[in-house]
Amino acid sequence: MKTATKNTTSTKSATASKTKATTTASKSTSKTATVKAKASAAEGLRELFVDSLKDIYWAEKALVKALPKMAKNATSENLITAINEHLAVTQEQVTRLEKVFASVGEKAVAKKCDAMEGLIKEGESIMEETEVGPVRDAGIIAASQKIEHYEIATYGTLAAFAQTLGEDDAVLLLEKTLSEEKEADVTLTEAAYNTINFDAAEEDEA
């Protein structure tokens, strides 16, 4: 009987310790999960919308500088053409964003986009880590599509924000750019699956 009592006591003690540890971990997570807002943090949807516009404005201008380098490092004529065509489109998108700013009564100001900066740097790393030819072309497409997917998500969100805020002119402008980004993604996919990925795969067999 004494042994049984001792075992029961040990079990209760272990359970209590486990519960206490779980509660402590929960409190610790709760404290660290809350991110303190900056003094300049957006307090409403309109502020968040404008802040996001500044973000993508910087991103598109940075992309205008990055695309020529991608084109210069590509070897596939189809890929080079696709990149150069999208460069022209991107330049138009920068101008269109300025129209979006004007339509909502804001000055066009660029705010550094950490996401685009990271994606462009990753693209540069991919080029450094691949040999010139089909393999690098495949890497450039991969990097480019990551950028396109980020832009698709961003413009889709911005268009939704604008619609909620009743900014109809901004919605039309943003949806036009969204459509262009989707088309660019399809073009890159076709370039990859028509020849480039298969040419790159043949390098493994060489």
Q: Three-state SS string across 22-47, please?
A: HHHHHHHHHHHHCCCCCCCCCCCHHH
d(CA 180, CA 90): 9
Burial code (b: 16+ CB inside 10 Å, e: under 16) for 110-145 equals beebeebeebbeebeebbeebeeebbbbbbbbbbbb
Q: At what angle do helices 45-73 and 114-128 cross, to 10 degrees?
A: 20
pLDDT tens digit at each of 206 positions of the chain: 555 555 555 555 555 555 555 555 555 555 568 888 777 767 799 999 999 999 999 999 999 999 999 999 999 998 999 999 999 999 999 999 999 999 999 999 999 999 999 999 999 999 999 999 999 999 999 999 999 999 999 999 999 999 999 999 999 999 999 999 999 999 988 887 777 766 677 766 65
Six-digit token pair at 125?
């790393």
Is the Cβ–Cβ distance between 116 and 150 less than 8 Å? yes
Is the Cβ–Cβ distance between 127 and 144 less than 8 Å? no
Whole-number Cα distances in Å, 144 to 30, 48, 55, 104, 141? 38, 27, 19, 30, 5
Predicted TM-score of the model (pTM): 0.79
End-to-end CA distance of the chain: 77
Cβ burial, residue 79 (10 Å; 0-12/13-18/19+): buried
